[in-house]
Amino acid sequence: MPLSKDQLRRAYRQMKTIREFEERLHLEIATGDIAGFTHLYCGQEAVAVGVCEHLANDDFIVSTHRGHGHCIAKGCDVVGMMKEIYGRRDGLCKGKGGSMHIADVNVGMLGANGIVGAGAPLAVGAGVAARMDGAGKVSIAFSGDGACNQGTTFEAMNMAVVLKLPVIFVYENNHYSEHTGADYAVGSKDMTKRAAGFGMLARKADGCDFFAVYDLMTEVLQHCRSGAGPASVELDTERFFGHFEGDPQRYRGPGELERLRETRDCLKNFRATAKARKLIDLAELDAIDAQVMQLIESAVTQARAAPVPQAADVFEDVYVTY
Amino acid sequence: MSKLRALTMPKWGIEMVEGTIAEWKVTAGDRIKKGQVIALIETDKIANDLECEFEGTVARVVADAATVYPVGALLAVLAMEPATATEIEDFVRSFRAAAGSAAAESPGTAAATATAAAPPPTTAAIPKNANISPPARLLAEKLGFGVGQLRGSGRRGRITLQDVDQASKPAAAPAAGKPVSVAVTTAALDVFHASAYAKRLALKHAVDLSRLKGTGPRGRISRADVLKSAATPPAAAASSQSFTIEKFTPMRKVIARQLTLSKSTIPHFYLRMRVRVDALMALRERIRKDGGKPPSVNDYLIRAAALALIDVPQVNIQVHGEEIHRYKHADVAVAVATDRGLITPIVRCADTKPVAQIGSEIRDLAERARAGKLKVEEYAGGSFCVTNLGMFGVDEFDAIINPPQGAILAVGALQRRFVEDAGSVTFANTLKLSLSCDHRAIDGAVGARFLSALRDLIEKPLRLIS
Amino acid sequence: MAKMMLREAINKTIHDEMERDKNIVIMGEDIVGGMGTAGGPEAIGGIWGLTGGLYAKFGANRVIDTPISESCIVGAAAGAALAGKRAIAELMFADFVGVCLDQLYNQMAKFRYMFGGKTKCPVTVRITYGAGMNAAAQHSQAVYSMLTSIPGLKVVMPTTPADAKGLLTTAIRGDDPVMFFEHKTLYGISGEVPDGEYLLPFGNARMTREGNHASIVTCGQLVRAAEKAADALAKDGISCDVIDLRTTSPLDEECILDSVENTGHLIVADESPPRCSLASDIAGLVASKAFAALKAPIEMVTAPHTPVPFARELEKAYLPNAAGIEAAVRRSLAYRH
């Protein structure tokens, strides 16, 4: 079923929001205002949005260290996120988590995660919960091509198959496990075939093409929501920045980044498809761009002005009761 | 044979692993005879006298009253002939519980760690390469204390300052004294959200914890809260008490525990039936006329119950958790009231014994029960109990099962009643029986079958005397 | 009150709680047992007999027999809890904490904190632990000290059937991750267990002997050894407090300090090896907060700094015992001033 104009506008807005959020962070981090390690999602927006546009509030996702995109796509508050990344007291996690640990269970976002591969078992648990609730809910484990080599991921895939859980393992293959080529680190060089070996539905698509991702997820989600068991989806995508902010990226080939920005930009691809298929007036997308820029500007302004945590806050929120 | 003998915690029954000395009946120096009661011992099932199996003098009382000891633990030492304090001390120290007894693994009998005396100071110089810390060396040199024999407590045997300090000082007096109790005293205060020491202090200073608001962790009443309250006592409490307080005797404790357990965990149901005892009365009358002394109605009832248990074996049982233990013969317990409380000695294999023998056994058991002379095996076990309050004129009553027995029969007073007999109304001698059954193991119909078998035996008593 | 074994108390508590709260899910290896075999489901019911009867009563959605995947078991329990359920996970042996430590200490322990107090993670991880059954180095360890050191986790160790019920109920109904350590040699001990609702608050130590000369602080299997030692010492007129900590996180500091302030002598008995252990932790606590009360150096009775050996004689030599605790009390009291 083709996407409605509303759906198209919404999807584009989400992708653009992620893009500008990350581009802006790239600039702000360089000023030294933001502490810690930040891993930017720029370039992979079509994956997060292509998956999450299918999800309801009470479907679950488990994210990774590169989690800003998943958070925004699943509906986390952008200003709250920006404040959190700035380490502010009224950030989404009161300044206690930072970039790598943004979560909001109220929108089914069960957390970004600093440990590569740790999310898949959590997603299996969310799948257990989803099945107990019995309303066709699903649980999505986002992982990169790096996490797909962790034992926990294998355990999780096997257990999801054994228990026939509504879990989808979404592998974002951006071709770099930190600073190492995925072709080197994935021994078989084919993570989809490997996932299929676990006995689950395993599919792949171009992760830089929102429409390809969206269409594939339509099919895969139908499979999972019907109770037919887990699935794996490999999405071929690109990382426009380094592993973390400050990564000199000496592993990149000459002109690689420029070429990727030119040919593999999911936002450009979205516009091209929209134009070719006459889906939506591009001027509408330009208007969304302007609104998004304003939103991000406002988020940064608010984050900078927000109060910082107090030393006494360090003791709060360890336990519910102790 | 040694002139000293150990008196140890006895093992009564298969399951006993430990016991509490409820009360010592002797003290050190007492001359005691064989068979004399030396202590009252309480287990989780019974309270009973511990009798001495030898004649001699109590040399030492080792175990404390109100303290739990494993089976086989040394309770006291008995001297057959006079013994010196050293001999007694050596005996106590070297006592080993029998292998396999609960006490065999207890450290209580391990020899105390002797405190080493300070080694004599020597003036030998400490070698340059000795493994000793510089401050320890300085101290040793200052004291002129040779460290050659000293085993260092540090890593790889290094001698520390504390090693030299301790070794150079005279030994502390060995910590030893009269046995003491370490039983927890605050169990009754467990309901309060208070720290362990707060409870102890509350007992000591008679502070009512229910009046206190805790300021400790998680709102708990702390030591400080109690002390503060103890410092400011409430207005004088009412002084004249209109009652006296008496602690449960050990036997009362056992009764309370057993019956609470029974009434709160066993689903009782009750079946009541009035039976005619005219034939039984006639039978007794005939014996009397023949110049004999007839057994009591109760003796016949025990016999009848025993036979009914054989007829309806589903009632002749003990219940243990989710197991039913079935018995070939009927061991019938008989409730006996004593000054110390209720006790239920058992007529073993009552189904095989004539009524007269049952009668004489019951009288012997009852007499010894009142004198507190029953042996454990005389009141442990049994599958059924008969309790009779008819002599007090009680018409009828329901009894509480004495676990693990499966049922109990309550017998009321003899009553003359109008009954319809072959179309006319006549007087009959009757008894009201009430059978309490453990529904976990005995269903209503089974209990009813038992009761009707019992009625048949009582109303047609020929089988009772055959 | 009903007399039952500790294992029965645990099994019954899980049954009762799962009956009471439809939101509870339990998962672990062989907790149903026999899945995919000729024997069929419930052929086992857990190797320690703790989870029998759950599958038949609550079904496969709530009683989840997993593959041998400790990380995923613990992770899935945490994930289910984040997603709004109340999870019980079982680790067949405490030693397997090494396999799934990330999910325990990077994940469930930290969620609430990392996420700014806006989530909770109600997971009870039941862990069978301890030496005494000749299970050797990879099936006998007492890793509670390690987990006690992790902020965000609670660590609980019942030593009686009644405490097992009271503490497990509190663990399951609580909203924080709890490491519930069950000593394998205590499963068979019997005791009275209160009927009906019975919750024991965490952080309340249990005084099992009362005395004035020395304080023996311990937990788990060694509580019984400490009691034996105290009873033996009492015969010589030496009376000791024996403190069963029940929970090592939160720790009942007040109980320990109150006791040491009264006795001046501290003996800590701990089944874990001595370095960075519960024993050293409590010794440090007392040294820093009750230094003025101490009349002798603190005695630590612990396992040695070695793996757990196999042979009976070796394991016996490895494990702290009543005689060792008794000797430590005597040493402390014999300190020369």
Q: In chain C, how many domains are there? A: 2
C334 touches chain B (CB under 8 A): yes
Q: Which domain holds residue C99?
A: 2-193
Task: Give a yes or no: residue C111 inside a domain.
Answer: yes
Higher confidence at residue A186 or residue B246?
A: A186
C188 and C52 in a common domain: yes
Closest residue, chain C, to A137 (C-alpha): C83
Chain B residue numbers with beta carbons less than 8 Å from the beta carbon of C210 are 182-186, 200
C137 and C60 in a common domain: yes
Lowest mean pLDDT among B41-50, B163-172, C28-37, C188-197: B41-50
C246 and C130 in a common domain: no
C57 and C6 in a common domain: yes
- At position B172, the amino acid (one-letter code) is A
Output the pLDDT for position A296: 98
DSSP β-ladder status, C206-209 and C214-218: unpaired
CB contact under 8 A, A317 and C107: no
Tokens coding C249: 């996180």
Output the pLDDT for position A40: 97
- Give the span between the Cα atoms of B315 and B309, in whole angstroms: 6
Tokens coding C87: 């999870």
C317 and C250 in a common domain: yes
CB contact under 8 A, B181 and C242: no
Q: How many CA atoms lie within 13 A of B430 on its CB side?
A: 16
C131 and C237 in a common domain: no
CB contact under 8 A, C334 and B169: no
Chain C residue numbers with beta carbons less than 8 Å from the beta carbon of B172 are 333-337
- Other Cβ atoms within 10 Å of C80 Cβ, number: 33
Q: In the B/C pair of chains, how many CB contacts fall below 8 A?
A: 137
Taking only residues 3 to 42 of chain C, the set having a beta carbon closer than 8 angstroms to any beta carbon of chain B reads none
CB contact under 8 A, C67 and A155: yes
Distance set, CA B154 to CA A73, A218, B140, B158 (Å): 61, 70, 16, 4
CB contact under 8 A, B176 and C238: yes
C290 and C176 in a common domain: no
Task: Give a yes or no: residue C201 inside a domain.
Answer: no
Supply the CATH number for residue C213's domain: 3.40.50.920
Supply the CATH number for residue C73's domain: 3.40.50.970
User: φ and ψ at C295, to 5 degrees?
Assistant: -110, -5
Task: Give a yes or no: residue C200 inside a domain.
Answer: no
CB contact under 8 A, C83 and A162: no
Question: Sign (positive/negative) of CA torsion B355, B360, B365, B367?
Answer: positive
* Boundary-marking domain end, from C171, C193, C215: C193
* Boundary-marking domain end, from C151, C172, C193: C193
CB contact under 8 A, A125 and C119: no
Task: Give a yes or no: residue C164 inside a domain.
Answer: yes
**CATH: 1.10.150.80, 1.10.1750.10, 3.90.1010.10, 3.40.50.970. Which one for A5-315?**
3.40.50.970
Taking only residues 37 to 66 of chain B, the set having a beta carbon closer than 8 angstroms to any beta carbon of chain C reads 62-64
Task: Give a yes or no: residue C115 inside a domain.
Answer: yes
- Give the span between the Cα atoms of B149 and B363, in whole angstroms: 74
Shortest CA gap B185–chain C (Å): 8
Give this complex's ipTM: 0.94
List the subunits that have 3+ CB pairs under 8 angstroms with C.
A, B
Output the pLDDT for position C301: 98
B137-162 tens-digit pLDDT:
999 999 888 888 888 998 889 999 99
Q: What is the pLDDT along chain A (322 residues), one digit of tens a residue?
A: 689 999 999 999 999 999 999 999 999 999 999 999 999 999 999 999 999 999 999 999 999 999 999 999 999 999 999 999 999 999 999 999 999 999 999 999 999 999 999 999 999 999 999 999 999 999 999 999 999 999 999 999 999 999 999 999 999 999 999 999 999 999 999 999 999 999 999 999 999 999 999 999 999 999 999 999 999 999 999 999 999 999 999 999 999 999 999 999 999 999 999 999 999 999 999 999 999 999 999 999 999 999 999 999 999 999 999 9
C interface test, pick of A74, A132, A158 with most C CB neighbours within 10 Å = A132
Output the pLDDT for position B116: 45
A interface test, pick of C27, C114, C125, C199 with most A CB neighbours within 10 Å = C114
* Nearest residue to B91 (alpha-carbon basis) of B178, B6, B9, B28: B6
Across the interface, which of B182, B216, B261 has its CB nearest the CB of C209? B182
Peptide bond between residue C250 and the one before it cis (omega within 30 degrees of 0):
yes
Task: Give a yes or no: residue C198 inside a domain.
Answer: no
User: φ and ψ at B79, to 5 degrees?
Assistant: -100, 125
DSSP assigned state of B77: E
C186 and C39 in a common domain: yes
> How is chain A split into domains, by residue range?
5-315
Task: Give a yes or no: residue C118 inside a domain.
Answer: yes
CB neighbour class for B351 (10 Å; exposed up to 12, middle 13-18, buried from 19): buried
Output the pLDDT for position B379: 85
Domains of chain B in start order, with CATH, are 4-109 (2.40.50.100), 116-170 (4.10.320), 187-231 (4.10.320), 251-465 (3.30.559.10)
- Give the span between the Cα atoms of B455 and A253, in whole angstroms: 105
- Give the span between the Cα atoms of B400 and B197, in whole angstroms: 40
Is the model's pTM score more than 0.80? Answer: no
Report DSSP letters for B7-66, one per residue.
EE----SSS--EEEEEEES--TT-EE-TT-EEEEEE-SS-EEEEEPSS-EEEEEE-SPTT
- Other Cβ atoms within 10 Å of C284 Cβ, number: 11
C249 and C174 in a common domain: no
C225 in Cβ contact with C183 (< 8 Å): no
- At position A260, the amino acid (one-letter code) is L
Question: Which uninterrupted H or E stretch holds B298?
Answer: helix B297-311
Distance, first Cα to last Cα, chain C: 50
CB contact under 8 A, C176 and A319: yes
Chain C residue numbers with beta carbons less than 8 Å from the beta carbon of B64 are 234-235
Task: Give a yes or no: residue C11 inside a domain.
Answer: yes
Catalytic residue status for C139: yes
C219 in Cβ contact with C245 (< 8 Å): yes
Q: In what order do the strands lie in the sheet with C266-270?
A: C206-209, C240-244, C214-218, C266-270, C299-302
List the subunits that have 3+ CB pairs under 8 angstroms with A.
C
C48 and C168 in a common domain: yes
Closest residue, chain C, to B221 (C-alpha): C254
DSSP 3-state assignment of A134?
coil
A87 touches chain C (CB under 8 A): no
